[in-house]
Structure 1
Amino acid sequence: MAQRHHDLTDLTTGPVTTGDALGGYLRDQATEFLRALRLHRETGGATSSIAANTSANGVQERVDAVRALRRSARRISGSLHTFRPLLDAEWSEGIRPELAWLSGTLALEHAYGARLERLLLALNRLSGATPTPVPPQPQPQPQAQAQAQAATGTGAGTGGRSAVTPTSAPRPTTTPDRGNLTVGAAKAGALLDRQLTLARTRAHSTALQALGSARFHAVADQVAVLASEVPLTPAAPATDLRPLARAAEERLCDAVGALPLLTAGSPYNAEALIHGLSAEPAPHPQDAPWHQVRLLLRLHRYACEVVHGRGTPLDVRLLTAGQALDRHRDASEASSAAAQAARTPRIAPATAYALGVLHADQRHEVEAARYAFQRSWQQQTIGTP
């Protein structure tokens, strides 16, 4: 695992890709952003139509529109970061954090819903209970809906976490006490339902308020300008993009090299559970470097899209590594939610026990995801097909 040479993609050979390609990529992403914003308005994201609010198709189309907004915002922001020497510095540093703010705000509602679904399914699996239906997505609130109407009315005029679960590593053979777990699982599920549904509803309102804010208007205006004019430096059109893309890959490889991959060399790492099972509410100290690698892997993927074109398929091993890191993120956040619920004052011992078992189960999933990533990365490092 100490090998330094590691070619995820070939960024050193082939035809030279210059700043003109970066300009075309950013214009395409800006156009996608504006198209998604228009779709969000047309499918009820900014209208009080009852039919639009109650239509299942309308709800799904709005979800798809928000996902497309996030996807374009991430790609624009990531490309501005990787290729910032070729862009106007003041403009780039001004819009990049705003795009990150928008993407993060729009992601929260879906994240809370997916986290609740994951935890309820895990509780049912552990206790052997009948699956509990996942609560429906909250509907827009009238006040927030009106604010969003203002956003996409004038702002639009200026122009998801996918759940992929790779094959997991073998799970520990320890079986929880089914009797005590079944007693507490129902109340634990109800507690998680209340907490995460409330958080999701608040995130929904926050997202709608964000779409109705002056801050969002400013972002939409800047993206609309970007769709027609990219502020490249005078030297950018003749500058080869591959060295900058290669630098992004090197940062990824360095971050992976700093991970405790040897600790993740087995599917069950009991040492990694010690901190998570304590009363300390701080995040698990081992998780942050893995989350950083996930972000760097995303930046590398976006750089490959700019250099090679979006139509060029990525190495399946790179996709597998990304799926493992997504799974790691989801399990880590779910374990934190279970631990937070377990700290609720005056809960019954059986409920606390069920939440403790659930927390440990999600930490096992964290370790299995690290194991899967380690195996995928080793295959890339040694060049196995």
Structure 2
Amino acid sequence: MAQRHPDTAAATPVGLTADGLPGRDAGSVLEQYLRDQATGFLRALAPREGEPGRPQDDSAEAGRLMRRSARRIAGALHTYGSLTDPAWADPLRAELGWLSSTLGREHQYAARMARLITALQRLASAEEAAGTAAASQADDELSLWLPASGEREGPAADHPQAAAEPVSADRTNGTGTAEALRDPSARTAPGTEALTGTARAATGRRTPAPSPAAAERGTGTGPLAVGAARAGALLERQLTLARTRAHSAALQAMGSSRFHAVVDAVALLASEVPLTPAAHQPAEAVLPLLAEQSHARLNEAAGDLALARARHPYNADALYAALATELVAERQDVPWNRVRVLLRLRRYAQEVFPYDDVEPTARLTAAARVLEQHREAAEAAAAVTAAARTPRIAPATAYALGVLHADQRLEVEAARYAFAHLWSR
């Protein structure tokens, strides 16, 4: 994406449109957008309040719609805050941020647990598949030096009659092992099953590959597969506990007077919005400048990122920082998270006042999706780090958690690589 540094003193900046704005003031355009978002917020609230005729099993979808409307209202008040009464808009924006984070925490823990468990299964299955492939290659190389199936070697091959001659028990120290080896149809004595299986495997029969179901579960005998089950159980236990606490906090927030005060303030948006005298100016003279200021803040924050380094694949900056200290990794993720928030605000500002072309919108949406994946991977890696601090965990469990942590930090690096190429277009 081409970075632009607009002159805020100019008229309508290049790339913005004023279609539909002539004859309207800035306050009316902002009121229409806030009214639509407030209506969506109140509609999403209806199933939670038990409105008759509405299904009660869509609370997750209703919560998502409520968070979506709350974020957009807060974003519009942030970008176009100079058009509204700050004594009313600033507290409402803060309360909407609290509500969105409180209601979304349970969903984030559930998605994080699914992400980590899936990653563990993928890594363990990949290790098992690699081990099976290596064993098959070793069998192929070994078969070049072994006799074909049905052939015999040694004295038995030179004297077939001796091979068919029964061997007495006193010649085998009473175990009958030699007779069992010479005559496959003979009765196998106790303790010879492992030896017979080894001889059978050496004649060219490969060890069967694990079933798809076992590979999907990540069961195997590799170093990672041994600790993956315990690591998955540890992560599931900790994240389930965090999710339960987040669910309780959301229920407590939904029944608090603070929540009802937010609902009353949002309901006010459906009827009227407290505006300042600046909102009565022409929309084509005010909204483009405010929207472009939001884009300028985004460009400035993106310029502080190490995009030149991120354009190189496998630079391992994210992984090396995570292996150094946790504080370094957190500081490294902070500027990327700031760009993610500013990019979200820019997208919401663009919904109030759109661009001429649809392509910048598509690029903003793609970049926002990549940075959201960056946030999810970074927070998942932090959850793995917290689980690794559990006292008295087994070495195999610690090994599996370490591999999982490195995998998530590489996902962070991949997201930075994708964003760097998107932003430099």
Instruction: Tell me the equivalent position of 1:348.
Output: 394
Distance change >3 Å, CA 226–CA 4, structure 1 → 2: closer
Contact 1:39 1:62 in 2 (8 A): yes
Cα offset, 1:351, TM superposition:
0.3
Cα offset, 1:13, TM superposition:
5.4
Given the alignment, which residue of 240, 247, 254 partners 1:197? 240
Distance change >3 Å, CA 4–CA 39, structure 1 → 2: same
**1:254-333 aligned within 5 A:** 254-278=300-324, 280=326, 283-308=329-354, 315-333=361-379
Instruction: Tell me the equivalent position of 1:27.
Output: 35
Q: Once the two structures are superposed, what CA deviation does each residue of 1:176-227 show, in whole Å capped at 9, x if it has no partner?
A: x981111100000000000001000110110010000011011111111111
User: What is the rounded CA distance, in whole Å, between the counterparts of 1:6 and 1:361 in structure 2?
Assistant: 37
Cα offset, 1:6, TM superposition:
7.0
Amino acid at match of 2:4: H
User: What is the rounded CA distance, in whole Å, between the counterparts of 1:43 and 1:179 in structure 2?
Assistant: 54
Aligned length: 322
Instruction: Tell me the equivalent position of 1:11.
Output: 16
User: What is the rounded CA distance, in whole Å, between the counterparts of 2:235 and 2:293 in structure 1?
Assistant: 43
Q: Once the two structures are superposed, what CA deviation does each residue of 1:307-337 show, in whole Å capped at 9, x if it has no partner?
A: 139xx78632222111111110111111111
Contact 2:374 2:416 in 1 (8 A): yes
**Deviates further, 316-325 or 111-120:** 316-325
Instruction: Tell me the equivalent position of 1:362.
Output: 408
Amino acid at match of 1:179: G
Contact 1:19 1:241 in 2 (8 A): no
User: What is the rounded CA distance, in whole Å, between the counterparts of 1:302 and 1:328 in structure 2?
Assistant: 20
Distance change >3 Å, CA 281–CA 190, structure 1 → 2: farther
Cα offset, 1:105, TM superposition:
0.3
| 3-state secondary structure, aligned to 2:15 | coil
**1:114-263 aligned within 5 A:** 114-128=111-125, 130-131=215-216, 179-239=222-282, 240-263=286-309
User: What is the rounded CA distance, in whole Å, between the counterparts of 1:99 and 1:359 in structure 2?
Assistant: 33
Distance change >3 Å, CA 298–CA 91, structure 1 → 2: same
Cα offset, 1:27, TM superposition:
1.1
Cα offset, 1:286, TM superposition:
1.3
Amino acid at match of 1:201: T
| 3-state secondary structure, aligned to 1:286 | helix
Bigger Rg over Cα: 2
Contact 2:112 2:376 in 1 (8 A): yes
User: TM-score, normalised on structure 1?
Assistant: 0.78
User: What is the rounded CA distance, in whole Å, between the counterparts of 1:323 and 1:178 in structure 2?
Assistant: 37
Contact 1:283 1:336 in 2 (8 A): no
Instruction: Percent identity, please.
Output: 55
Cα offset, 1:93, TM superposition:
1.2
Deviation >4 Å, runs of 4+: 6-9, 12-15, 129-133
Q: CA RMSD in A?
A: 2.7
User: What is the rounded CA distance, in whole Å, between the counterparts of 2:103 and 2:253 in structure 1?
Assistant: 9
Amino acid at match of 1:327: Q
Q: Which runs of 5+ in 2 are unaligned?
A: 7-12, 126-213
Contact 2:318 2:412 in 1 (8 A): no
User: TM-score, normalised on structure 2?
Assistant: 0.71
Amino acid at match of 2:97: A
Distance change >3 Å, CA 245–CA 63, structure 1 → 2: same
User: What is the rounded CA distance, in whole Å, between the counterparts of 2:261 and 2:245 in structure 1?
Assistant: 23
| 3-state secondary structure, aligned to 1:371 | helix
Q: Once the two structures are superposed, what CA deviation does each residue of 1:89-114 show, in whole Å capped at 9, x if it has no partner?
A: 10011111000000000010000000
| 3-state secondary structure, aligned to 2:273 | coil
Contact 1:23 1:232 in 2 (8 A): no
